[in-house]
Amino acid sequence: MSQHDKMIPLTSFLQEEMTLSIGDRMMNSIASLPAATRLRLLAFLHFVEEPGNLLAELDFSAGGDLRLILMARQPCESNKH
């Protein structure tokens, strides 16, 4: 068995551990956000997953503020939480 073949299981293990650690850290970070921010994030994720169910409007103000407005096109029965 070559040195490269011996490193593959170790590399796979490290990738899995890093992925789990990043996922845990993200979940902890999201849990610490205010409720309104978590709802906005959830709405954005629904937009990314099923863009056909939402209308999106991107608004720029003269002061440099950026606002993304998401609106439901139709009730979506598959995404009840």
Cα 45 to Cα 22: distance, rounded to the nearest angstrom: 18
Cβ-count burial of 47 within 10 angstroms (0-12 exposed, 13-18 middle, 19+ buried)?
middle
Domain ranges of the chain: 1-32, 34-81
Task: Give tens-digit pLDDT for 27-79.
Answer: 898 899 999 989 888 888 888 888 888 888 889 889 989 888 888 876 655 55
Cα 14 to Cα 7: distance, rounded to the nearest angstrom: 10
To the question of pTM greater than 0.75 for the whole model, the response is: no
